[in-house]
Amino acid sequence: MKSNNQFSDALHIVAHLVGQSGPRTSEQLATCLPTHPVVIRRLLAQLGKGGIVQTVRGHGGGSQLARAPAQITLLDVYRALGSPTLLHTEVREGGRGCPVMQVVNDALDDSYRQAQALLETRLQATTLATLGADFAVHLAKHTSGGSHDL
């Protein structure tokens, strides 16, 4: 199964917008992942519809956070993307009528629901301000590394 990096890519994008004094272009943000600017624009469009970023088109335009980083949770970003599947939750469909498979599927379904609820609780507890602070600590420990400024 192919991994979907949409959520982590979106978090990467918005984390780069934390603390920026002005808008950043999709070309600038694309160098941070790295990926094609079109991929960034698609994610920014979703994040814009979700109220996470605001984007101005044209010369001098770009994207920036729509609210203060302390007011945007990781759950907000996750939901802006349409709550993409983060956990493999498919159960085996064959063997209808097999009581063992039904019990296994019920147990897995319940476990996945519990894991999803815990994940969403943790995402709700973390803001972009928290990520920004964590990045500042990380950067201070690794000052010899390359710059992450845009």
Task: For residue range 61-73, list pLDDT tens digits in order.
Answer: 899 999 999 999 9
Asked, for residue 10, whether it belongs to a domain, the answer is yes
Asked, for residue 135, whether it belongs to a domain, the answer is yes
Residue with the two structure tokens 């710059």: 147
Asked, for residue 149, whether it belongs to a domain, the answer is no
**What pairs with residue 94 in β-bridges?**
none
CATH number at residue 134: 1.10.10.10
Instruction: Note the pTM of the prediction, 2 decimals.
Output: 0.81
pLDDT at 13 over 70: yes
Asked, for residue 65, whether it belongs to a domain, the answer is yes
- Angle formed by the axes of helices 37-49 and 6-17, nearest 10°: 80
Asked, for residue 131, whether it belongs to a domain, the answer is yes
Burial status of residue 130 (CB atoms within 10 A of its CB: 0-12, 13-18, 19 or more): middle
| Dist CA 3 CA 118 (whole Å) | 21
Asked, for residue 72, whether it belongs to a domain, the answer is yes
Handedness of CA 127, 53, 40, 121 (dihedral sign): positive
Asked, for residue 109, whether it belongs to a domain, the answer is no
Task: For residue range 104-123, list pLDDT tens digits in order.
Answer: 888 888 888 899 899 999 99
Q: Which domain holds residue 20?
A: 6-85+127-141
Task: For residue range 23-52, list pLDDT tens digits in order.
Answer: 999 999 999 888 899 999 999 999 999 999
Structural domains of the chain, count: 1
Asked, for residue 38, whether it belongs to a domain, the answer is yes
